[in-house]
Amino acid sequence: MFKKVVIAGVGLIGGSLGLALTRKKLAREVVGVDPDLENLKLAVCMGAVGRAGTLSEELPTADLLILATPIGVTLGVLEMARPYLAPGTIVTDVGSVKGRLVERAEAMLPSRVYFVGGHPMAGRELAGVAGAREDLFTGAAYVLTPTASTNPAALHVLRQLVQALGAIPLELSCRQHDRAVALISHLPHLLAATLVNTAAGEADCELLLKLAAGGFRDTTRIAAGNPAMWRDILLTNRDMVLQAVKNFRQQLTTVEQAIRAFEREELVQKLAAAREIRQNLPENRKHVLAELHENEG
Amino acid sequence: MFKKVVIAGVGLIGGSLGLALTRKKLAREVVGVDPDLENLKLAVCMGAVGRAGTLSEELPTADLLILATPIGVTLGVLEMARPYLAPGTIVTDVGSVKGRLVERAEAMLPSRVYFVGGHPMAGRELAGVAGAREDLFTGAAYVLTPTASTNPAALHVLRQLVQALGAIPLELSCRQHDRAVALISHLPHLLAATLVNTAAGEADCELLLKLAAGGFRDTTRIAAGNPAMWRDILLTNRDMVLQAVKNFRQQLTTVEQAIRAFEREELVQKLAAAREIRQNLPENRKHVLAELHENEG
C-alpha cells in the first residue's frame, strides 16, 4: 500500500499504527522519528517501527507522513518536516482536536503535498509505545476530516488505510468532529477529574476514597490520563468544550431541581432515558470485559 | 454462627448474602422471603436460600433478619415483620441511605429486638438474584452504622458476620455514611446520567454515540442502573446529594474558568491532582480487569 511510512511521535497511537502497518504488510518500510531516543529504541525493539530515522533523511523518499505527536507540538513538527516533503506525499495526523490544526496544516504545505486530518477514536490508559497494540484500532471509529481543499485521491488512500487497519472510517467536518469529541471525550474527562477533586476537597477525603466502589472507579477512570496532554486538548478545543460544559450544566440543573422538589416522575424519567441510551450503546470487542463489571448500589 | 437467617428481598444483594451464608456455613438455615415468587424459586434453585418462607412463619424462630429490599419499601417490610420478631433477634438492612431509616427502625422495634444499619459497598450491573455471587463482598467495604442506642453485643455479632463474609467492616455514623455515599456513589450516578442526557440532547446524538469510545463508556457505565432504585436513593438522601452537587459545581466552575482564561498552569494542576488521587485509589480484586481498560485520547 505504501513504500515508506514515516511516523513522527512513536507513542501509544504512533506505535500501534506502526505495529499494524508492519504486521498487516501495509508498507514496505515503517520509519520512526522521535526526540525521545530511549522510546524510539524500544519502538524498534518491539517492532512498532522497522528502524529509527530523522525527518530530513527519511521524508524525501516517504509517501506517507503520520504526525502522532502530542497536539501541542504537531504544527511545530510539521513546520520542521515541510522542507523535506516530496511532491505527492500524503500527510495525516492523529490529534484529538482538528479545526485550527487542519486549517494551519493546509495553509502551511505546498500544493503537491496532501494533508488530511485524522483521529482514531481509540486509546488505552497505558501511555507510550510500551502500551502499543497491533489491534488497537480494530472496530474503533477513525475520523477523517476532509475540507474543500482536500485532494480526493489522498482522501481515498487514507480511507483505504483506515479500513485495512480494521477501523471504521467516518468523514466529518472539523467542526462536527470537534463538537462531537467535546461532548463524548473532553467533557467526560473534565467531569471525571472534577469529581475526583470534589471528593478530594472534603475533610474526610481518605474515608471517601476507601469507600469508593465500582461506580466511582468507573466514572473517574479517565481522570488518570496524562494531565499535560489533556490540558492541551481542552485548551485547543476551548470553545466547544465550554459549550459542552454549558449544556451539561443545564441538564444538571434540571435533575437537581427534580431532586429538590421531590419530583419523582420527572426524576425517574430522566434516569430511565439515560439508562436506555446507555444500554443501547453499541459495544465493540473492547468493551465486552467492561460489561461484566460491577457497580455499587 | 446463626441458627436461622431470614432474608427479606432476595435480589442481587440478598441473594449474594444468602449464597455466602450458606456456602461459608455461617447459618444452619437460610430462608428467603420475597413477594416475587418466580424470583424466590430461582433463588432456591440457585442455592441462594435454602428454602422459601413467610415472615409470620419464619421470624419467630429466626435469630437474624436481613432486610435486603428496595430502599423505598424497607420500613414497610419491617413494619410487617415486627409482630413476629422474637426477643433477641438481630435486624439489619443493606440500604444505600441510612439516616432516617435507622432512626425509624430503632423507634419502631421493641427493646429486645436489636437493629443495626448496614451497607455493603458492592454491587454489579446484573440486577436480581440471577447476578448473585458468593464472593460479591470479598474485599469490599461493609459499613455498619451504630447509634447511641445500638446494642453492643448485636453490633459485635454483625461485625463478625461482615468479616466472615470476607468484607471489611467500617463503623460510621449515619450522617458520615450518607455524606460519603452522596459524594462517591450518588453524585457519580447523577453525573453519569446527566452526561448521557447531555449527549442525547444534541441534534447529532446518533453520531455522538457512534463515536463514543472507552472514556465515555466508562464514565457513563453506572447510568445503566435501575432508574426507580436510583430515584429512591437520590430522594432518600436528598439533602446530602444536593450538597454534593453544589460542591461539584464549585469545582467545575474553577476548571471552566481556567479553560476560559487559558490558565495553563492552573488547569494542569487541577488535572494532575485528580490523576494522582485516582491512580492511588486502592484497587481490590474486582478492579484488576478494569485497570487493563482502554480510554480514548
Span A99-114, pLDDT tens digits: 999 999 999 999 999 9
The DSSP secondary structure of A143-168, one letter per residue, reads: EEE--TT--HHHHHHHHHHHHHTT-E
What's the total number of domains in chain A? 2
Nearest to A227 among B188, B271, B282 (CB): B271
- Using the Cβ of B196 and the Cβ atoms of chain A, whether some distance falls under 8 Å is answered with yes
The CATH number covering residue A62 comes to 3.40.50.720
The verdict on a CB contact (< 8 Å) between A274 and B140 is no
Query: Closest Cα partner for B101 from B131, B145, B152, B62?
Result: B145
Task: State the residue range of the domain holding B45.
Answer: 2-172
Q: What is the pLDDT of residue A292?
A: 29
* CA separation for the pair A101, A82 (Å, rounded): 15
Over residues A14-42, mean pLDDT: 97
Residue A126 pLDDT class (50, 70, 90 cuts): low
- Using the Cβ of B108 and the Cβ atoms of chain A, whether some distance falls under 8 Å is answered with no
- At B100-132, the pLDDT tens digits run 999 999 999 999 999 999 999 887 666 789 999
- Using the Cβ of A238 and the Cβ atoms of chain B, whether some distance falls under 8 Å is answered with yes
Helix A238-260 to helix A187-200 angle, to the nearest 10 degrees? 60
- Are B124 and B265 found together in one domain? no
All three cell numbers of A143 = 475520523
- CA dihedral sign of residues B9, B10, B13, B19: positive
- Using the Cβ of B199 and the Cβ atoms of chain A, whether some distance falls under 8 Å is answered with yes
- At B62-92, the pLDDT tens digits run 999 999 999 999 999 999 999 999 999 999 9
- Are A123 and A230 found together in one domain? no
Q: What is the pLDDT of residue B293?
A: 30
* CA separation for the pair A130, A11 (Å, rounded): 8
* CA separation for the pair A230, B278 (Å, rounded): 15
Torsion of CA A294, A297, B2, B3, to 10 degrees: -100
Over residues A173-192, mean pLDDT: 95
The enclosing H or E element of A136 equals none
Query: Looking at the domain assignment, is residue B149 inside a domain?
Result: yes
- At B163-191, the pLDDT tens digits run 999 999 999 999 999 999 999 999 999 99
* CA separation for the pair A69, A14 (Å, rounded): 8
Instruction: Tell me the residue type at B177.
Output: H
- Are B19 and B69 found together in one domain? yes
Instruction: With a cut of 50, say whether residue B249 has pLDDT above it.
Output: yes
> Which residues does residue B65 pair with via DSSP β-bridges, in sequence order?
B6, B91
Nearest to A259 among B124, B238, B247 (CB): B238
Q: What is the pLDDT of residue B191?
A: 96
Over residues A232-251, mean pLDDT: 97
Cβ–Cβ under 8 Å, residues B40 and B15 = no
Q: What is the pLDDT of residue A31?
A: 98
- φ, ψ at A165 (rounded to 5°): -75, -10
Q: What is the pLDDT of residue B228?
A: 92
Residues of chain A in contact with residue B197, where contact means CB-CB under 8 angstroms, are: 251, 270, 273-274, 277
* CA separation for the pair A12, A82 (Å, rounded): 24
Query: Closest Cα partner for A199 from B183, B255, B191?
Result: B183
- Using the Cβ of B238 and the Cβ atoms of chain A, whether some distance falls under 8 Å is answered with yes
Q: What is the pLDDT of residue A209?
A: 84
| CA angle, residues B152, B153, B158, in degrees to nearest 5 | 95
Q: What is the pLDDT of residue B125?
A: 62
Cβ–Cβ under 8 Å, residues B50 and B31 = yes
Residues of chain A in contact with residue B226, where contact means CB-CB under 8 angstroms, are: 275
Tell how far CA A242 is from the center of its chain: 19
Instruction: With a cut of 60, say whether residue A297 has pLDDT above it.
Output: no
Query: Looking at the domain assignment, is residue B277 inside a domain?
Result: yes
- Are B183 and B206 found together in one domain? yes
The verdict on a CB contact (< 8 Å) between B193 and A238 is no
Instruction: With a cut of 50, say whether residue B261 has pLDDT above it.
Output: yes
Three-state DSSP class for residue B142: strand
- Are A111 and A83 found together in one domain? yes
How many C-beta atoms lie closer than 10 Å to residue A35's C-beta? 11
- At A49-68, the pLDDT tens digits run 999 999 999 999 999 999 99
Instruction: With a cut of 60, say whether residue A157 has pLDDT above it.
Output: yes
Q: What is the pLDDT of residue B221?
A: 87
Instruction: With a cut of 50, say whether residue A287 has pLDDT above it.
Output: no
- Are A153 and A186 found together in one domain? no
Q: Of B127, B146, B172, which marks where a domain is finished?
A: B172
Q: What is the pLDDT of residue A290?
A: 32
Instruction: With a cut of 90, say whether residue B290 has pLDDT above it.
Output: no
